[in-house]
Each structure stands twice: as C-alpha cells, then as structure tokens.
Structure 1
Amino acid sequence: MIANDNTAPTRAKGRKSVEAWSGKDKGDENFPVASLLIAKPLRARVHAYYDFARNADDISDSPTLSPEEKLARLNAMEAVLTGAEETGSASATKLRRSLAESGVPAAHARELLVAFRQDVIKTRYENWAELLHYCRYSAAPVGRYVLDVHGESLDTWGPSDALCASLQVLNHLQDCAKDLRDLDRCYVPQDWLHEAGLSTDDIARPETTPALRAVFDKMLDATQDLNRTAADLPKRVKSRRLRIETAIICALANRLTVLLRHGDPLATRIKLSKLDVLTASLKGLKYAP
C-alpha cells in the first residue's frame, strides 16, 4: 500500500506574498505524490516541486482574484523561482534552492506556469490535439521532473508524457461538472461535442445523456491509448523504487479509466477506492526485481 507524506504545501508569509493556499494538499490527489517508495532525500525534492505547483494552481483557480491579478502573481512566482526576485513566494524560493542543490533545470517548473497562465485566459479546447498540447505543459513537466530527480534517461520521457496526459484527462473528466460550474472551464473537446449535437451547457446537466456518454467514451478511448503507451514506462525506469511507483500509477490510471467508463461523472465524483490502490500496489510490486 502506498503511504503519502502529506505535509501541507508551503505558504509564503508577509504582505508581499503572492501565494493563497486553498487548503488542498497531497491527500486530495488521485495518485501518490512523493510516496514512501521514493527515497527520503529525493522525496523532499518532489515535495518542493509539488508545493510550487499546488500554490500556482491555487492562484489560477482562485474564485476571488481577477485574471490580471492571477497573471501578475504567477509571473511573480516565476521571478522568485529564477532569482529575478528574492521574496514573495515561499514555495518558489524553496524550489529554487532545491533545484540549485540537485542540478535539475527550472524548465520543468516554468513550463507548469505556462499551463497555469493558460487556465486564466483559456476556458475551451477545440479538439483532442489542443487538449494534449495543454497537457504537455500542465502534466508532462511533473513526470519529467521526477525522472530527472532520479537521474533517469530521456528514453523515459515518451511514456511518462503519455501517463501524465492520461492522469490529467482523467482528472478533467472526474471534475468536468465542477470545473464548468466553478471556473467556467471545459476540457471536453468542442468538436466532439458539436459532432454529437451537444454544447458545453450539456455538461451542466445533473446526469449524463446518452449522446454525452458517447463523447466521454471517445475521450476514454483516446486516454486508453495513452495508457498503453505509458505501460512501457516501468520497463525503462532504472531506479527500483521509482519503477514500482510508476507501475502502480499506471495501474491506477487504467483502473480509473474503467471506473469513469462505467460511472456518471455528472451525477457523482468517480474516484479510486482503497481496494483499487491496494490492487494497483500489488501489481506494482511485480516490478520490484
């Protein structure tokens, strides 16, 4: 069973802080974040990255900040991350120091900010390709950072990008009703909705219609293709601990794909159970040798 070290994200203190922590932490995620499978020294580096990402995400999702203020705060986080500014974002300062110690490039964190800025100004995605391009910045940098921290080769990036994109799309499907209601965001490809005679407003219904179910299934079919590509990741990872972790995450992605295919994300939030996590963990242990 995976156990997470669920310390709260860093919150910057003082008047000049741009951070506004929402209260969410690693326990709110679908998948393990720096679980105890990760070696302790490396776990601290993953926590630093997660804290930075969590705080940036909270800014882009804030219900009270204006778009202009959100962009200004995200820019400030990047300025602190790169050393252009010394204070204003505790999580960026923490990550900057971690990156300096590890030698891992800041690009993986700066690319995340590209996606968070996009979330501020873009609320619809025309097609699947456009959504995957968003995932390249919102999700892929996470996997690439973890791989770099472990000293893995670039050969792992392809299947890792596929896994991260899968996790991102699955999360979008889980939260499609909430994202539309709270943020007026829709990550369901608009062309697929239009082909089915639907509009974004149909996602605001209390239950999924047959036509919308077909669109969700089309997204899940494409996501399963990503899962198949991702299955090669544990085979390429050299670190034993990370190999097990990635195998577990692959199994969880496959399981959540199945759950979303048989459940209604408009009627309830589809999520993994403790049994799902246990089953995935046992599958992951096959990669221990």
Structure 2
Amino acid sequence: MTRPITLTASYEHCRRVNARHGRSFYLATLLLPEWKRRHVHALYGFARHVDDVVDATGPGSRAGRAAALDGVTARLEASMAGEPVRDPVLPAFVHTVRSFGIEHGDIEAFMSSMRADLTVTRYDTYRDLLAYMEGSAAAIGLMMLPVLETVPGAARTAREPAAELGRAFQLTNFLRDVAEDLARDRIYLPLEDMRKFGVREAELERGGAGPGMRELVAFEAERARLHYRRAREGIEMLVPSSRPCIRAAAALYGGILDEIAAVGHDVLGGRARVPRRRRAAIYVRHLVAASAAARAERRPPPAGSRHGRAR
C-alpha cells in the first residue's frame, strides 16, 4: 500500500510549484519571514493544482476535468476530516488552513468558481465577471490574509483591500492571457465591453489587435489599476514584515500592465512579461525594509514591558 505524502514533502512540492509557475509572485514571497513562506506556497500550490485540473486539455476533457475536480474535492473533504490522502498539495494546504483558522467559506467560494470554469466560458457584463472573481481571486486574497498577519484590530477591515488585490492580480492575468484563454475557448473580457468597442470574437481568433481591441484592453487595464489603488490602504494594515512582499507583488503584477501599455495594448501579439532586470530591481528595492522588519519582529520586548513581565 502506498503511503500518503509527508507534510514536509507536501510543503516542498508547493514551493516548487510556486517557483516554477508563479515566478514573479515567488520572488515577492522571498521577502517574507521564512516561517511564513511555506504557508503562502501551500495556498498557492493548492490554487494552482485546482486551476490546472480545470484547465486540462485533451479529447473528452470536460468530463475528465469534472471527474478530476470531483476527486480533488473528495480528497480535500477527507483531508479536512483528518483522513490521510495521497495528494501532493493537500497535506500542506490543510495544515496551513488549520494553523491559521482560514475560513472554510473562502475555500468553498474558490472551489465554486473553479467548477464554473468547466461550463461557463463567457461573461456578459463586468458585474458577472466580478461575481466569478469573488471565488477565483478575492477568496485567494482572503485566504492569504491570516498568514500575512494584520496589525491589532485590523483583521476584518483588511479583508476588502485583500480581496481587491486578488481582483487586481486576476484581471491583470486575464489581460495578459487573452490568447491563451481563447485557446481553451474562454473569454474573460466582458461581452458588453467588447460590443462597446466593436470587438468581435473573430478578431481575437485572428490574433491581430485593431484599434477597438487596443481601446478595450486599455479600458480594462484602467479597471485593474483601480483595484490596485483600492487595495493599497490594506498594505498598512499588515504587520511590517509582510508589507514589503505585498508591495513588491503589486509592483510586479502592475508591471505587467505597464508592459501591455508599452506595446500599445496589443495583447494578441505576444505575452507581456516584466523584464528580468526590472523584477530584480523591484525585489532589491524592498529587500532592506523586509530584512529590517523581520529583525524587529524577532526582537524580544523590553524588560519590564507588559509582554515581558513574568506571570
């Protein structure tokens, strides 16, 4: 009988998934205190694992993907109930959920949006797309929040900015990945906006961005920037050692919008990437603050302080 994967191996698997598939985000996580990183990797690894299940391609893939997602759901429920499972990401994910009291409602919202990807391929309005992103993006930000930690009294207030950052990241990804999503017969550009700018699906399939398509992308990019601005106030609600990571992540993902703008908002001509030199510069810019904040948090309270007195 095959033994279930160990917790240590599961955390390492999630770290490798993050390093391989989320290079910009992985770079930002290096600014976190070491003990927090593995939990962030666990959340990313789980989200990526489920996303890969619903994105799988091949003959008869819709039925196969549905069955595979059912399998993930069943293993997740079993693992949450304390049963050992043979899954590379669930031991780390469930351990993180339990360790930080991550709300099960956020997990359920995420799984619901992933299941929607099996059947829903178009969104008529931006409101419809936002409803999808409540599970696929906002819920991820909310799951991350307990790991990142908030300053005293800010746990509830910080939820909406965390959700906004999740929306900003995903809308950025939608704009970057228009061609890739179209290959899976999915369009995450609201259809009413496509009609407003005179963009037809045939234009997306041809791969050449005309004036209307460029205007549409610029319009959606401004929406993403608005989400970034709304998320900004939440960074100060985090403990100091988590702020450099999130500032860097926002700069790295926001940089994708800058790269899209630099090519005239033509997202069909190639996948926008933040140059390696710029990514490195963003990381270095926040490294000193991250190191200082981590050292300060490790420092014991002064003798005689409220937290330092013997009880």
Task: Name the TM tier (shorter chain).
Answer: 0.7 to 0.9
1:273 maps to 2:275: yes
Q: Bigger radius of gyration, 1 or 2?
A: 2
Structure 1 equivalent of residue 248 of structure 2: 248
2-side partners of 1:226 and 1:100: how far apart?
30
* SS state at 1:236 partner: coil
1:29 to 2, 22, 29: 22
TM-score (norm 1): 0.83
Offset at 1:275? 2.5
Q: Is the 8 A contact 1:179 1:186 kept in 2?
A: yes
1:180 to 179, 182, 186: 182
Structure 2 equivalent of residue 134 of structure 1: 132
Structure 1 equivalent of residue 208 of structure 2: 207
1:40 maps to 2:34: yes
Offset at 1:226? 1.0
Alpha-carbon distance change, 136 to 179 in structure 1, aligned in 2, over 3 angstroms: same
Q: Is the 8 A contact 2:101 2:146 kept in 1?
A: no
Structure 2 residue runs without a partner (length 5+):
1-10, 294-311
Show the 5 A alignment for 1:114-125: 114-125=112-123
2-side partners of 1:237 and 1:245: how far apart?
11
1-side partners of 2:102 and 2:204: how far apart?
40
The superposition leaves residues 56-75 of structure 1 with CA deviations (integer Å, 9 ceiling, x where unpaired) of 11110000263233223223
Q: Is the 8 A contact 2:149 2:242 kept in 1?
A: no
Structure 1 equivalent of residue 299 of structure 2: none
1:91 to 89, 92, 97: 89
Q: What is the one-letter code of the residue matched to 2:193? A: W
Offset at 1:285? 5.5
Q: CA RMSD in A?
A: 2.5
1:75 maps to 2:70: yes
Give the number of aligned pairs.
270
Structure 1 residue runs without a partner (length 5+):
1-5, 11-22
The superposition leaves residues 5-26 of structure 1 with CA deviations (integer Å, 9 ceiling, x where unpaired) of x95449xxxxxxxxxxxx9653
2-side partners of 1:134 and 1:37: how far apart?
30
2-side partners of 1:115 and 1:241: how far apart?
31
* SS state at 1:147 partner: helix
Structure 2 equivalent of residue 16 of structure 1: none
